[in-house]
Amino acid sequence: MAERERERQRAREHVRVAVIGSGFGGLGAAVRLRREGITDFVVLERADAVGGTWRDNSYPGCACDVPSHLYSFSFAPNPEWPRNFSGQAHIRAYLERVTDTFGLRPHLRLRSEVRGLRWDAQALRWEIETARGALTADVVVSATGPLSDPKLPDVPGLDAFPGKVFHSARWDHDYDLRGKRVAMIGTGASAIQIVPAIQPDVGRLTVFQRTPPWVMPRADRRITGVERWLHTRIPATRALRRQVLWGIRELQVSAFTKRPKELGLIESLAAAHMRKAIKDPEMRARLTPDYRIGCKRILLSNSWYPALARPNVDLVSSGLKEVRGSTLVASDGTETEADAIIFGTGFHVTDMPIAQRVTGAYGTTLAEEWKDGMEALRGATAAGFPNFLTIIGPNTGLGNSSMILIIESQLNYLADFLRQLDVLGGRIALSARPEAVQGWTRMIQRRMERTVWNTGGCDSWYLDANGRNTTAWPGTTAEFRRVTRQVDLAEYEVLRPPDPGATPVRSVTAPAEVTA
Amino acid sequence: MNRRPGHVTSGPYAPPVPRTTTTVTSADGSRLYAETHGPDGAPAVVLAHGWTCSTAFWAPVVRDLAADHRVVVYDQRGHGRSPAVAADAYTTRALADDLVAVLEATLTAGERVVVGGHSMGGMTIMAAAERPELRERAAAALLCSTGSAQLAAESRVFPLRTPQGRRRAHRLMLHSRAPLGPVSPVAKWALRYATMGPGASADQIEACARIVHACPTGVRSHWGRMLAALELTGSVARLELPTAIVAGTADRLTPFVHARRLGAVLPDCRGITELPGLGHMTPIEDPGAVAGRLRELVRDHLTTRAPASRGKRQPKEKKSA
């Protein structure tokens, strides 16, 4: 029996690094690992293709609201972006291309959903259970992303709804919406893209809006052939374009993080944008937010307001309270008949679902450690979870710029983390010191106090159940890059394998000393 | 050329007269000057000095310890009375070779010792971490105002904002062959600024300046290149003996963050002694604190020897302030 157990242990595959997820974060990590000379790694993906959120979100009208020349890897420039704000299909194709160009296919393990991760304190490595077998890894890079697990509200009676129900990120392309009575729940970034895209086809469209969003004009256009030719022939022009796009957004940051009052100016632009399409003052009042712009994600669309003004669209200024048969009842009592319900209700952002599956050095799960709010040193490492790094971890989100910039900074940190492990050599692990994590979180939360996310007077997905902002980065991307350039060993505890001969009791040692 | 000696000649910072001097031959044949102070048979302490310094640097510590310890100090290659070597022989490996050669030459058979190193002397101990001679001889170690990696990027002599800027500026400083000139008020001001705390006394500055100015520019530059590229963190992780750390909080050359990193990486760290307001030259700025810590290590690990704890890793309890 014991013999068989050992056999099983031997058979279990071991890798240096296991990356979870194959979106921008996971693929970026894979490229970075290869560039650091590390080839002994796998990328675990639950689906059957790469692309992450850009694979899952295929709803009509899906596009990025950061210009593509900025929303792409600096190491994989694409002079051929077709539009300013490229659509989902192009971004997904870009990620497929990155996977091929950088030779990542051999590292991919598709249909390998991670079921559980457990820290082995004896062997100093992670035991990983996946849908296609178990393996162990020295280091785990969790690139599961904040926008990966759809969040569905708990609506009474939904189970008995006779029609079609799906979430925006799980779009059912086989279901024909033509002529149907459709209810769109939510008015977030997905919903405002879906509504204009399906409005011409559906019979009747009812939009349930709890809180109106601020919507800015979208300066989208085709990138001309001349530009593309220039970007291909003279790469510096492409680089310049990226720099300009980046620079503009860097300059906006202080308004979000330090002087939310300045954003009032932007509000008037958004209001004018709405006035152009919505002529009914009563409708306008319902669509005007009562919080500071930027508090919730600022949305970009030229077609949202015009679509709402169409005769086959109704706006219900209230959330969905319950479903009675095929009747949808809003919180304000409005009743609507529907054939299909589409939830544009967002994702599990502040309660990263992977956290429930990770069991660390204390024997607790990451979700348990994070029950009062996510926290991780420099957005990457949580106390008690050695050799475990998160890409797009706590407090790394941006309100106005490209997350790819954050991802690449976190990859710098990952590379230095692995370099430090190499330098230290031997069987060793690095575990963030609780004091260091707390110090980092205190700094973040102190700076968070003046930001628009905390002072703007709204509830948003930046805030967790306790009202604490555990998702946004209260600074510029340049600053984030600076603070994640290096792993400071003073912030970490070096773990060594326990001495086999030693008694488990913490024996007498020389007293700690601090002379001052 | 009328050259003053490379140290002060009177007062507490003047080097005491050694009981014996030895010429030690290192692994590559280089000659090293070593001297022994204090009574025979007393517990032994071997001290390694830092970049651009010499045995004279330890004078106040030697004066304190020599009453009841046998103290061995030696000149790192190229410094003081140890002759310069070929340009490619200034390496961390040479540092380790030299230290173990000194241990073997100056200690009696089976004699154990507490080793102490300041700055590059601390790096010497780190570099020797896996040498069997050190493991056999050393009962404990003291690392004084030192670091294991990223020296140029972490230094704050040029307080530039970005690590790349600091790395470039300090690399120039470390590589430089520029002569320091005579020990002038300007030179002393600069040395005080770069290496000592604001409270350093005039004689302390004078003592340091004499020592540093006596270092040949070529030797300074050769060792400086080694320092700019230093990466000894892995060796620190394998320095398996009780090790204490002493550092000044106003150290610009090897800022306090290095001490905390060493504390994090050492397998058996016995505490970080934080000396508030002191700079890089802790053995001269506060010889009492450094000698005191050495005394404690001797008391805890050398005279009351606990062989059971040898070789076994002890769970560590440490704090850094």
Q: Is the pLDDT of residue B310 over 90?
A: no
Cβ contacts of A430 on chain B, cutoff 8 Å: none
From A428, A499, A513, residue closest to B271, measured CB to CB: A513
pLDDT of residue B162: 86
Start-to-end C-alpha separation, chain B: 49
Å between B298 CA and nearest CA of chain A = 14
Residue B10 lies in a domain: no
Cα separation of A334 and A249, whole Å?
41
**Domain containing B138: what range?**
20-309
Cβ contacts of A509 on chain B, cutoff 8 Å: 314-317
Q: Is B289 on the interface with A (CB under 8 A)?
A: yes
Predicted confidence band of residue B161 (pLDDT cuts 50, 70, 90):
confident
From B261, B289, B315, residue closest to A507, measured CB to CB: B315
As a 3-state breakdown, chain A gives helix, strand, coil percent values, each rounded to 5, of 35, 20, 45
**If residue A268 lies in a helix (H) or strand (E), which one and from where to where?**
helix A264-277
What single-letter DSSP state applies at residue B231? B
pLDDT of residue B1: 39
Domain CATH code at residue B196 = 3.40.50.1820
Please write the tens of the pLDDT for every residue from B32-47: 999 999 999 999 999 9
Residue B245 lies in a domain: yes
Give percent of chain B with pLDDT exceeding 90.
89
**If residue A133 lies in a helix (H) or strand (E), which one and from where to where?**
strand A133-142
Mean pLDDT over each residue of chain B, to the nearest integer: 92
Would you say domain A150-213+296-346 falls under CATH 3.50.50.60? yes
Task: Name the H helices within B34-91.
Answer: 59-65
Helices (H), strands (E): how many in chain B? 13, 8
From A423, A499, A514, residue closest to B321, measured CB to CB: A514
CATH number, domain A2-148+349-495? 3.50.50.60
Residue B264 lies in a domain: yes
Q: Are B242 and A510 in contact (CB < 8 Å)? A: yes
Q: Is B237 on the interface with A (CB under 8 A)?
A: yes
Q: Is the pLDDT of residue B309 over 50?
A: no
**If residue B71 lies in a helix (H) or strand (E), which one and from where to where?**
strand B70-74
Question: Going by C-beta distance under 8 Å and a sequence separation of 6 or more, which residues neighbour residue A185?
Answer: A153, A191, A208, A319, A320, A341, A342, A343, A344, A345
Residue B247 lies in a domain: yes
pLDDT of residue A110: 97
Residue B282 · residue B195 · CB < 8 Å: no
Our CA angle for B276, B278, B283, nearest 5°, is: 120
pTM of the model: 0.90
Closest to A31 in 3D by CA, of A98, A131, A112: A98
**Overall number of domains in chain B:** 1
Q: Up-side HSE of residue A34: CA atoms within 13 Å toward CB?
A: 17
Å between A386 CA and nearest CA of chain B = 14
pLDDT of residue B304: 56
Return the bridge partners of B46, or none.
Answer: B72, B115
Residue B237 · residue B315 · CB < 8 Å: no
Residue of A nearest to B244 (CA): A513
Cβ contacts of A428 on chain B, cutoff 8 Å: 237
Closest to B282 in 3D by CA, of B228, B242, B319, B244: B244
Cα separation of A49 and A108, whole Å?
9
Please write the tens of the pLDDT for every residue from B40-77: 999 999 999 999 999 999 999 999 999 999 999 999 99
Residue of A nearest to B149 (CA): A423
Residue B48 · residue B115 · CB < 8 Å: yes
Residue B75 token pair:
């000149």
CA distance readout (Å), A432 to A77, A111, A364, A377: 34, 31, 16, 7
Please write the tens of the pLDDT for every residue from A419-446: 999 999 889 999 999 999 999 999 999 9
pLDDT of residue A267: 94
Cα separation of A53 and A91, whole Å?
10
Q: Are B264 and A423 in contact (CB < 8 Å)? A: no
Please write the tens of the pLDDT for every residue from B256-286: 999 999 999 999 999 999 999 999 999 999 9
Residue B19 · residue B209 · CB < 8 Å: no
Sheet holding B31-37, edge to edge: A514-515, B269-275, B243-248, B138-144, B113-118, B44-48, B70-74, B31-37, B20-25
Please write the tens of the pLDDT for every residue from B222-240: 999 999 999 999 999 999 9
Closest to B235 in 3D by CA, of B106, B141, B319, B163: B141
Cα separation of A450 and A446, whole Å?
8
Return the bridge partners of A329, or none.
Answer: A322, A335
Q: What is the ipTM of this complex?
A: 0.84
As a 3-state breakdown, chain B gives helix, strand, coil percent values, each rounded to 5, of 40, 15, 45
Disruptive mutation site among A413, A423, A481, A507 for chain B (greatest number of B CBs within 10 Å)? A423
User: Which residues of chain A fall short of a pLDDT of 50?
Assistant: 502-516
> What is the domain partition of chain A in residue ranges?
2-148+349-495, 150-213+296-346
